[in-house]
Amino acid sequence: MPLAQAQAPGDITPLAYFLHSAGPAAAPVRVLDWALTALCVVVCIVIAALLLIAMRRKRRDISGDDLSANETANGVANRIVIIGTAISTVLLLGALVAMLRVLAAVAEPPSDPALTITVTAYDWWWKVTYTGPSGQPFNTANEIRIPTGEPVQVRLQSADVIHAFWVPALAGKTQAIPGQVNRQWLQADRPGIWRGQCTQFCGAQHAHMAMEVIAQSPGDFARWLSAQAQPAAAPPNAGAQRGEQVFATHCAACHTVRGSQSNGAQGPDLTHLASRRLIAAGTLANTPANRLDWVAHAQAIKPESLMPNIALTPAEARDLGAWMDTLQ
Ligand code: HEC
Ligand SMILES: [Cu+2]
């Protein structure tokens, strides 16, 4: 099945991703989630019930001189406060212990990660750096591929402000902080596509700063890795050749396409652009029409994005489109 049509496992809608886990770094967190949710629900119900009982009780008449009845009532009230505090303390301490245990359980991967990737957060997209089969690093963007069944180490850094990396089905959140490298690990037990999101408010387009993690069998992953490490193929025809020229003029200052004369670093690496499922950090499906729409209207699609609208003649747009289609 081509990846573009592949469904998320079990057709889980993105909104429900955080209710499911697909690997050992996320499973203990999900169990903790449900346990804490259940605890909170029970506490809410008990407190609401106690409130209702208290509201329905008639106030005892203490206007008379029945002092001893009054004292008994005070004693009962004090005891209720003490017992309530004790129960709350035990529950909260229990929750704290459970949380610390989960933190410890997911702190380190079960075995040495076979793969380490570097994810750099930018306003408002993700650069992903891999080491190719020959040891050469290369970049891609907004789509993280991993092999199934192995822990993957993620080195997290930021190019500008504080962001946070969260792929709920695969691991907890980790912040990406300028000037610092944070580490986390994730692992997918089965092939699938999981959405992740920046979870630290980072400016106007924070909400459009998503990414996808695609887990594949180790064989498929290895084939993907060696294809991505390659430079772009030479333009196969005259139209695409002209498109490469349009790119050199209008885009190369910000974007890199390995193998062409462009080495801009402000925007995503586009060497294998057409092989990705989504563009603009999960904002649009990666279709030929959307790619050109993005070039012309980036500021309408993602206002304040660091990619300007770029005005091209119809012929330039056609040639550029033909070339981008070849960046498989
Ligand atoms: C001033 C710098 C700049 C210029 C010039 C520029 N871009 Fe971009 N481009 C960016 C940035 C920054 C992003 C990331 C935007 C985001 O997702 O928030 C981006 C994103 C993209 C994406 C989406 C990539 C992905 O995988 O998500 C495409 C495609 C793209 N640009 C194509 C082009 C083309 C084609 C041109 C020339 C016609 C061009 N850009 C010119 C900065 C630039
Ligand atoms: Cu953000």
Q: Which residues pair with 140 in a beta bridge?
A: 128
- How many domains is the chain partitioned into structurally? 1
Confidence band of 13 (pLDDT split at 50, 70, 90) = low
Look at residue 84 and tell me if it is in a domain: no
Helix (H, G, I), strand (E, B) or coil at 282: coil
Element (H, E) at 214: strand 210-216
Look at residue 263 and tell me if it is in a domain: yes
Measured from the CB, is residue 145 less than 6 Å from ligand 1? no
Q: Are 304 and 204 in contact (CB under 8 A)?
A: yes
Of the CA atoms within 13 Å of residue 94, those in its CB half-sphere come to: 11
Measured from the CB, is residue 310 less than 6 Å from ligand 1? yes
The average confidence (pLDDT) of the chain is: 91
Look at residue 207 and tell me if it is in a domain: no
Average of pLDDT values for 48-62?
82
Q: How far is the first Cα of the chain from the last one, in angstroms, to the nearest whole number?
A: 17
Measured from the CB, is residue 273 less than 6 Å from ligand 1? yes
Confidence band of 5 (pLDDT split at 50, 70, 90) = very low
Cα 81 to Cα 269: distance, rounded to the nearest angstrom = 62
Cα 171 to Cα 184: distance, rounded to the nearest angstrom = 8
Look at residue 246 and tell me if it is in a domain: yes
Q: Are 294 and 160 in contact (CB under 8 A)?
A: no
Determine phi and psi for 263, rounding to 5 degrees. -140, 40
Q: Which ligand is nearest to the CA of 164?
A: 2
Q: Which of 161, 165, 173 is nearest to 202 (CA)?
A: 161
> Is the pLDDT at 7 greater than 60, yes or no?
no
Higher pLDDT, 19 or 172: 172
Look at residue 195 and tell me if it is in a domain: no
> Is the pLDDT at 6 greater than 80, yes or no?
no
Look at residue 257 and tell me if it is in a domain: yes
> Is the pLDDT at 53 greater than 50, yes or no?
yes
Q: Which ligand is nearest to the CA of 324?
A: 1
Measured from the CB, is residue 207 less than 6 Å from ligand 1? no
120-146 residue pLDDT tens? 999 999 999 999 999 999 999 999 999
Look at residue 291 and tell me if it is in a domain: yes
List the CATH number of the domain containing 305. Answer: 2.60.40.420
Which pLDDT value is given to residue 62? 59
Counting DSSP H helices and E strands in the chain, the numbers are 6, 12
Determine phi and psi for 120, rounding to 5 degrees. -115, 125
Measured from the CB, is residue 181 less than 6 Å from ligand 1? no
Q: What residues make up the domain containing 308?
A: 238-325
Look at residue 249 and tell me if it is in a domain: yes
Q: Which of 195, 217, 197, 218 is nearest to 206 (CA)?
A: 197
Q: Which ligand is nearest to the CA of 160?
A: 2
Determine which of 10-19, 45-54, 91-100, 232-241 has the lowest per-residue pLDDT on average.
Answer: 10-19
